[in-house]
Amino acid sequence: QVKLLQSGAALVKPGASVKMSCKASGYTFTDYWVSWVKQSHGKSLEWIGEIYPNSGATNFNEKFKGKATLTVDKSTSTAYMELSRLTSEDSAIYYCTRIYYSGPFDYWGQGVMVTVSS
């Protein structure tokens, strides 16, 4: 069965960076785009960007360009997102998702809670 297993919660200082992982299993990793989604205040969802593991091609929400970096390791079927220059506005839960061919997000990781605090 398809699973996306994300890394654990992170407590980071303002101005620092954080890198989180999303390990895929149960399907051919290189066949599907992986998206990253931010959930703030426990309710609203915001799309950060996506990466195609086969080629490394990426697309980003303009709002997150310069903030998020997406990479993959095909040998371990793992996608990564690094967030830089963190502020309190970056405190949120971050999900990785698999994108089904036409666009809906059919599988989600369990989420990573990032807390930015000194």
Minimum distance from residue 80 beta carbon to other proteins (Å): 18
Q: Are 95 and 109 in contact (CB under 8 A)?
A: yes
Least CB distance from residue 57 to other proteins, whole Å?
Answer: 13
**CB-wise, 2 or 16, nearer to other proteins?**
2
Closer residue to other proteins in complex, CB, 37/86: 37
Tell me the closest approach of the beta carbon of residue 111 to other proteins, in angstroms. Answer: 6
Residue number, 82 or 106, with CB nearest to other proteins: 106
Is residue 78 within 8 A of residue 21, CB to CB? The reply is yes
Contacting residues toward other proteins, per CB under 8 A: 35, 43-47, 59, 61-62, 95, 100, 102-111
Distance of CA 91 to the CA centre of its chain: 14
- Output 61 or 91, the one with its CB closest to other proteins: 61
What is the number of other CB atoms lying within 10 angstroms of the CB of residue 31? 11
β-strand partners of 3: 25
Give the pairing of strands 112-116 and 10-12.
parallel
